Amino acid sequence: MPKAAATSKNPTVPPQRAARRSMGAARPLMQPVATLPETEDSDVRPRLHRSTNGRITRLPKAAKQDDTEEDFDKDHPECLEAIRDAEETNRRLTTRLNAQRREATASAQRLSRERKEMAVKNQQYRSEIQKQSNELQRLNEEVSRLQRLLDAANSDAHNLVQRTELQRILEGIHAAGRTFMGHIKSQVDENQNAQDLTELPGINMTGDWLAIPEFDDDAGFAEMPDSVFPPPAPGDI
């Protein structure tokens, strides 16, 4: 009676595959014709067998066609141990591979999230740089406008200083002109008075007045005749 299908210890191997693997162990080994015994009575001696991978193994004895699974387990303990070791190695490597795949998947997801976050931050940085560039351009325009206003104010102040200096100079010239005109007027008045004195009848005015017949010292101020003070000309009034 064949044994029931054994449950695989490897979680990644389906139970059907494990059952087929266990059932396959009950089948007799296929050997090359050269290794089969010539007659049933001939001595069974160990023969060399070349496997599919090119390695040469020694067969302890020829397997019989009617061998059961118990006979196979008893006659081939090394093969069963090798199969169990291979299954354990496969399970361990599969577990490690699955862990590495999960870790790689988690790393890929983390990198994808970080890439998206970096893209968002990069866009924010670009927006901030553009905003700062616009603000810098506005400040440069404001500085240019203030520079023009400062130049205009300096020009106005320079012109104001020039006008103030010119006004001060003009006031000085006007004051000097007034002083000069006053001096000229004084000179003219002096010359006019001197000319008027020369037109009097004589230097000894008292004697001249007393010599006038119409003058009476007892009568006070008498009317002077036209011969003494002639009337002014019409153009002189």
Q: Give the tens place of pLDDT for each residue, 84-112.
A: 899 999 999 999 999 999 999 999 999 99
**Predicted local confidence at residue 113, as pLDDT:** 94
Lowest mean pLDDT among 24-33, 96-105, 189-198: 24-33
pLDDT above 50 for 34: no
Secondary element (H or E) of residue 131: helix 77-198
**What range does the domain containing 97 cover?**
15-29+47-108
In a domain, 25, yes or no: yes
Between the alpha carbon of residue 127 and those of residues 113, 114, 121, 133, 135, the distances in Å are: 21, 20, 10, 10, 12
235 found inside a domain: no
- Evaluate whether residue 157 is within a structural domain: no
In a domain? residue 92: yes
The answer, as to whether pTM is greater than 0.75, is no
How many residues are there in the chain?
237
pLDDT of residue 140 exceeding 50, the answer is yes
The one-letter amino acid at 60: P
Provide the pLDDT for residue 176. Answer: 84
pLDDT tens string 159-169: 777 778 878 88
Per the structure, the count of domains in the chain is 1
In this predicted structure, what is the pLDDT of residue 47? Answer: 46
* 25 close to 72: Cβ distance less than 8 angstroms: yes
